Amino acid sequence: MDQKVMPDKQEIYKRNVIKQLYFAGELSCADLSVLTQKSVPLTARVLNELISEGAVVEKGYATSTGGRRPQMYSLKPDLLYVVSVAMDQLVTRITLLDMHNTYVGEVQLIELPLANNPDALAQLTRHLQEYIRQTGIPREKIIGVGIGMPGFVDVTKGVNHSFLKTDQGSIVSYIEAAIEIPVLIDNDSSLVALAEQKLGAAKGRQNVMVLSIGWGIGLGMILNGSLFRGHNGFAGEFSHIPLFSNNKLCSCGKSGCLETETSLLVVAEKAIKGLKEGKVSMLQGLTLDTMEQVSNAIMEAALKGDRFAIELFSETAYNIGRGVATLIHLLNPELIVLSGRGSLAGKLWMAPIQQAINEHCIPKIAENTAIEISSLGYQAEIIGGAALVMDHYDTLDTVSERPGGNLMLA
């Protein structure tokens, strides 16, 4: 097993500067001094070192605000890379991102069912090995791998109590032993919220609920400016609020959960049933082999004005709104962000959710809560995987015996 070493203090500060530039895009020396809580002279010296190493470039002067315009700095895009993995219960996406958070090459799609699949971790690891090999990027230029996955994820122990079981060690140690690159894992909804907080609609906000609409309805909570995980890290199981008396069995084993009336799987199942019963829709006659194809087709039809498809989303959105009303009463958020796969349906969600809030919320509590559709959309989990790695970059362990040694160029 390769030995891991922590970076020294000087490297930690360099990494912190790189991390801040990654999330902000461009910053001045004074900005970096404030964000890193170090003196301006020290920050200037580190910036000059990073410029001489080819890691940071000058981007010209900031827009004038009535004084001397500061020099702005940015990362060189190909300085380093991050591999991001976005998993749901059926499909896994793998991609490589540079320091401008731009995709390098195409996103690789893999059909990888997680339920009742004891070989899932080995399959994921093999796909990662092959993907990294095919990129042609030297391992020392890849900072780490950030993986988002459904289930009860213990980020401290690196395990998932729902999927990707391993007999020995953790998910993290299993994959790291194979690819020799640092690995970080998190719950998919938490990563969607992290993406929105760092690079999306929740940036600069203090109290935000991020709903990830997919095969379930995930929830990431930003409270007082920080991602809230709860005592054991399992907070945010929004899908499993017992909201209905429908006697429908949920994936968690209980009945009547929010998920049983709101997930994209439910929308797809209702669509298939309705078409068989003779509903008139442009969806008729389509050959759809997977639930992913069904849900995408329904969203496309709804956005084109198909009445049946719109009815399906309106009913689902109203039920999501009932759950959102509960969140508003409990947490009084300033913003609700609709993110994830389902956010591709865009404004179709808004009116029914707002109607449910109007009907089920005390007006005074709800009057200052806004609702927004994520600009990151279905890419939020991928962006979150990269953000997870970069958020830990200044203290991330390095594998000392792999080619290239430390991850930093210094």
The answer on pLDDT for 410 being more than 90 is: no
Whether residue 141 is found in the same domain as residue 286 = no
pLDDT digits (tens, 9 = 90+) for 13-28: 999 999 999 999 999 9
User: What CATH code is carried by the domain that includes residue 45?
Assistant: 1.10.10.10
Out of 75, 92, 110, a domain closes at 75
Provide the pLDDT for residue 66: 62
pLDDT interval class at 6 (50, 70, 90)? low
**Is 283 domain-assigned?**
yes
* Cβ contact 134:143 at 8 Å: no
The answer on pLDDT for 405 being more than 60 is: no
pLDDT interval class at 292 (50, 70, 90)? confident
* Cβ contact 1:177 at 8 Å: yes
| Sequence-ordered list of residues with C-beta below 8 angstroms from that of 372, at least 6 positions apart, any chain | 201, 335, 336, 337, 338
The number of domains in the chain is 3
> Which helix (H) or strand (E) segment is 98 a member of?
none
Out of 75, 92, 119, a domain closes at 75
The answer on pLDDT for 332 being more than 90 is: yes
**Is 218 domain-assigned?**
yes
Across 108-128, average pLDDT? 94
The answer on pLDDT for 401 being more than 80 is: no
pLDDT interval class at 286 (50, 70, 90)? low
Whether residue 55 is found in the same domain as residue 108 = no
Provide the pLDDT for residue 403: 31
Across 39-45, average pLDDT? 94
Which two three-digit tokens encode residue 301?
A: 């039809």
Task: Report the alpha-carbon distance of residue 252 to residue 115 in Å, rounded.
Answer: 12
Which two three-digit tokens encode residue 23?
A: 């999330």
Out of 57, 75, 93, a domain closes at 75
pLDDT digits (tens, 9 = 90+) for 205-223: 999 999 999 888 999 999 9
Whether residue 254 is found in the same domain as residue 283 = yes
Closest CA to 149 of 105, 107, 103, 115: 115
Closest CA to 264 of 174, 200, 349, 383: 349
Across 164-186, average pLDDT? 93
Provide the pLDDT for residue 184: 96
Q: In which domain, by residue range, is 64 found?
A: 4-75
Whether residue 352 is found in the same domain as residue 275 = yes
240-254, 313-327, 367-381, 388-402 — which is least confidently predicted? 388-402
Across 220-248, average pLDDT? 90
Across 39-58, average pLDDT? 94
Across 54-68, average pLDDT? 81
The answer on pLDDT for 390 being more than 60 is: yes
The answer on pLDDT for 368 being more than 80 is: yes
The answer on pLDDT for 102 being more than 90 is: yes
Provide the pLDDT for residue 284: 84
C-alpha count within 13 angstroms, C-beta hemisphere, residue 350:
8
